[in-house]
């Protein structure tokens, strides 16, 4: 049995997968905030509950909104700031009395979709998350590519490529720079772009409703601008990585029109006479992160 844990800023989810990938047990609770030790205790309790409910012990993989520094073994770049600077993998391993595998949550998403999701059977998968933030993960031959500095796939904190005059220098990003892809393509970035059009900054869902149901011209312009920015950002990835498939998750992955419009638009920017890269929605949806954490232990484990 493989146990996966998805540690988020507001909730912590756990799943147990059988050898065939079927879910044996699944639950979630609120993520403790303000105390690192409470987060460790909460995950340990969820693993214990999972093993009690299934009557089995399992390997444990954990997805976090950050990564481990290869230099120090400590957590860095985590939105759940309580983790930063702590040896989270070591502490969890000691608490659970077994090895624990830790990975960035976007890497877990990509691994899930590459293992038995929309990218199954592909040699290389680029998984993107378009939500409150923008993340990415790379899987090659079934293995997560973390990179020498553990930042492979972090396309959200690259500058928007082929930016026009109105997009430079770009919005402030929490990382300290301006014009990061995340500031344009996240849910808050989409709302802020619409506010710049002059319509008051509704939520992404409201922008979509206005464009699709009420034929609001300003909302349509906002979505068209979003699609072109997404096309430019992904064309840049295709130029560097040329993955066999790009799989999309996160709240904005439910914007069905992007799967037709973005591949049409990225033809203008990618360095090729034609791009036929599939761009598809995640098969497992919100479950991909926690399933990918479980798959950090491969079938041979």
- Contact, 106 vs 133, CB < 8 A? no
* Whole-number Å distance between alpha carbons of 171 and 247: 26
Q: Which CATH architecture has domain 2-109+287-294?
A: 2-Layer Sandwich (3.30)
**Contacts (Cβ under 8 Å, ≥6 apart) of 178:** 169, 170, 171, 172
Structure tokens at 291: 């399933």
**Contacts (Cβ under 8 Å, ≥6 apart) of 63:** 4, 5, 6, 7, 102, 103, 104, 105, 107, 108, 109, 289, 290, 292, 293
pLDDT tens digits in sequence order for the chain, 301 residues long: 999 999 988 899 999 999 888 999 999 999 999 999 999 999 999 999 999 999 999 999 999 989 999 999 999 988 788 999 999 999 999 999 999 999 999 999 999 999 999 999 999 999 999 988 899 999 999 999 999 999 999 999 999 999 999 999 999 998 889 999 999 999 999 999 887 655 556 888 888 888 887 778 888 999 999 999 999 999 999 999 999 999 999 999 999 999 999 999 999 999 999 999 999 999 999 899 999 999 999 865 4
pLDDT at 211: 87
Q: What is the pairing mode between strands 67-68 and 124-130?
A: unpaired
Of 23, 25, 101, the closest CA to residue 59 belongs to 101
One fold for both 2-109+287-294 and 121-282?
Answer: yes
pLDDT at 301: 43
pLDDT at 51: 98
pLDDT at 202: 83
* Whole-number Å distance between alpha carbons of 203 and 192: 9
Coil vs helix vs strand at 178: strand
The CATH number fitting domain 121-282, selected from 3.40.50.1370, 3.90.420.10, 3.30.420.40, 3.40.50.970: 3.30.420.40
Annotated domain spans of the chain: 2-109+287-294, 121-282
**Contacts (Cβ under 8 Å, ≥6 apart) of 11:** 28, 29, 30, 31
Of 261, 285, 241, 277, the closest CA to residue 138 belongs to 241
Q: What is the pairing mode between strands 124-130 and 134-140?
A: antiparallel
């Amino acid at each position: 049995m493989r146990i996966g844990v998805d540690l988020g800023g507001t909730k912590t989810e756990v799943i147990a997968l059988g050898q065939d990938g079927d879910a044996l047990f699944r639950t979630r609770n609120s993520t403790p905030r303000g105390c690192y030790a409470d987060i460790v205790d909460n995950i340990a309790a969820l693993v214990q509950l999972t093993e009690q409910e299934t009557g089995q012990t399992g390997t444990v993989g954990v997805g976090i909104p950050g990564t481990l520094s290869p230099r120090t073994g400590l957590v860095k770049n985590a939105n759940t700031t309580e983790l930063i600077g702590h040896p989270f993998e070591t502490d969890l391993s000691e608490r659970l009395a077994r090895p624990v595998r830790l990975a960035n949550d976007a890497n877990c998403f990509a691994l899930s979709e590459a293992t038995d999701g929309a990218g199954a059977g592909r040699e290389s998968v680029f998984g993107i998350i378009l939500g409150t933030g923008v993340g990415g993960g790379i899987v090659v031959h079934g293995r997560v590519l973390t990179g020498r500095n553990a930042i492979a796939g972090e396309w959200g904190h690259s500058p928007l490529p082929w930016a026009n005059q109105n997009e430079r220098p770009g919005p402030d990003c929490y990382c300290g720079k301006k014009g990061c892809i995340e500031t344009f393509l996240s849910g808050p970035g989409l709302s802020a772009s619409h506010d710049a059009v002059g319509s008051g900054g509704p939520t992404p869902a409201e922008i979509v409703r206005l464009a699709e149901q009420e034929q609001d011209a300003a909302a349509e312009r906002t979505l068209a601008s979003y699609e072109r920015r997404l096309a430019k950002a992904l064309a840049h990835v295709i130029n560097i990585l040329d993955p066999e498939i790009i799989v999309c998750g996160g709240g904005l992955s439910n914007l069905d029109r992007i799967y037709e419009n973005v591949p049409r638009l990225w033809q203008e920017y990618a360095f090729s006479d034609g791009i036929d890269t599939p761009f598809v929605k995640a098969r497992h949806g919100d479950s991909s992160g926690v399933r990918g954490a479980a798959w950090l232990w491969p079938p041979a484990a």
